Structure 1
Amino acid sequence: MKVTLFAAVSVAISGANAAVGMWQQCGGINYTGDTTCVSGAMCYKYNDWYFQCIPATTTTSPSSTRSSSSSRQSSSTSTRSSSTSSRSTSTSTRTSSTTTTSPSATISPLHDIAVSKGKQYFGVAVDSNELANATYKVLLDDRHLWGQMTPGNKMKWDATEPSRNTFTYSDADALVVWAQGSGKEIRGHTLVWHNQLPSWLTNGGFNNATLVSILQNHVTNLVTHFSGKVKTWDVVNEIFEEDGSWRSSVFYNTIGEYFVDIAFRAAAAADPNVGLAANDYNLDYGGSKVTAYVNLVNRLKSRGVKITQIGSQSHLIVGSMPSYSTLVSNYNAFVATGVDVAITELDIRMTLPVTDALLAQQRKDYNTIIRACMAVPRCIGMTVWAYSDYYSWIPSVFSGEGAALPFDDQLKPKPAFYGIVDGLNGITN
Structure 2
Amino acid sequence: MTEFNNTHDFEEVTPANTMKFFATEPEQGVFDYSGAETFLSIVTPTKKYIRCHNLIWKSQLSSWVTSPAVPWTNATLSAVLYNHAYNLVSHFGDACYSWDVVNEAFADSPAGAYDNSSIWEQIIGPEYVPMAFQAATDAVRDGNLSVKLYYNDYGIESAGAKSTAAQTLVSQLKARDIQIDGVGFESHFIVGETPSQSAQQANMEAFIALGVDVVVTELDVRLSLPPTVATETQQVADFYNTVAACVGAKKGTGSHGCVGVVVWDFVDTYSWIPTTFVGQGYGTPWLQPGGANTTLVKKAVYDGILEALTGAPEAL
TM-score norm. by structure 1 comes to 0.67
- Structure 1 match to 2:182: 309
For 1:240 and 1:409, the matched residues in 2 are separated by 36
**Which of 176, 183, 206 is the matching residue for 2:47?**
183
SS of residue paired to 1:139? coil
Higher helix share: 2
Counterparts in 2 of 1:287-366, with a 5 A limit?
A: 287-366=160-239
- Structure 1 match to 2:150: 277
**Which of 7, 21, 24 is the matching residue for 1:160?**
24
Counterparts in 2 of 1:46-65, with a 5 A limit?
A: none
Q: Does 1:209 align with 2:75?
A: yes
For 1:181 and 1:322, the matched residues in 2 are separated by 36
Q: Does 1:262 align with 2:131?
A: yes
- Structure 2 match to 1:418: 303
CA shift at 1:175, angstroms? Answer: 1.0
State the one-letter code of the partner of 2:81: L
After superposition, the C-alpha distances for 1:342-384 in whole angstroms (9 at most, x for unaligned) are 0000000001111122111111111111111000140010000
SS of residue paired to 2:193? coil
For 1:409 and 1:241, the matched residues in 2 are separated by 35
Q: Do the aligned residues in 1 keep the contact of 2:221 with 2:283 (CA within 8 Å)?
A: yes
**Count of aligned pairs:** 293
CA shift at 1:184, angstroms? Answer: 3.0
For 2:195 and 2:307, the matched residues in 1 are separated by 19
Q: Do the aligned residues in 2 keep the contact of 1:233 with 1:277 (CA within 8 Å)?
A: yes
**Higher RCO (C-alpha under 8 Å, 6+ residues apart):** 1
For 1:183 and 1:159, the matched residues in 2 are separated by 22
SS of residue paired to 1:227? helix
After superposition, the C-alpha distances for 1:173-213 in whole angstroms (9 at most, x for unaligned) are 11111121113321110000000111110122211111111
For 1:308 and 1:406, the matched residues in 2 are separated by 29
After superposition, the C-alpha distances for 1:207-244 in whole angstroms (9 at most, x for unaligned) are 11111111111111111110020010000000001210
- Structure 2 match to 1:400: 279
Q: Do the aligned residues in 2 keep the contact of 1:407 with 1:413 (CA within 8 Å)?
A: yes
Q: Does 1:245 align with 2:105?
A: no
SS of residue paired to 1:241? strand
After superposition, the C-alpha distances for 1:93-113 in whole angstroms (9 at most, x for unaligned) are xxxxxxxxxxxxxxxxxxxxx
Larger radius of gyration: 1
Q: Do the aligned residues in 2 keep the contact of 1:268 with 1:274 (CA within 8 Å)?
A: no
For 2:211 and 2:83, the matched residues in 1 are separated by 29
For 1:225 and 1:287, the matched residues in 2 are separated by 37
After superposition, the C-alpha distances for 1:66-119 in whole angstroms (9 at most, x for unaligned) are xxxxxxxxxxxxxxxxxxxxxxxxxxxxxxxxxxxxxxxxxxxxxxxxxxxxxx
State the one-letter code of the partner of 1:261: P
- Structure 2 match to 1:140: 4
For 2:288 and 2:186, the matched residues in 1 are separated by 22
CA RMSD across the alignment: 1.0
Q: Does 1:382 align with 2:255?
A: no
SS of residue paired to 2:286? coil
What residue ranges of structure 1 are gaps of 5+ in the alignment? 1-136
State the one-letter code of the partner of 1:173: E
CA shift at 1:271, angstroms? Answer: 2.2
State the one-letter code of the partner of 2:299: K
State the one-letter code of the partner of 1:288: A
State the one-letter code of the partner of 1:177: S
Q: Do the aligned residues in 2 keep the contact of 1:157 with 1:191 (CA within 8 Å)?
A: yes
CA shift at 1:144, angstroms? Answer: 2.0
- Structure 1 match to 2:292: none
Q: Do the aligned residues in 1 keep the contact of 2:156 with 2:166 (CA within 8 Å)?
A: no
SS of residue paired to 1:226? helix
Identical residues among aligned pairs (%): 41
TM-score norm. by structure 2 comes to 0.91
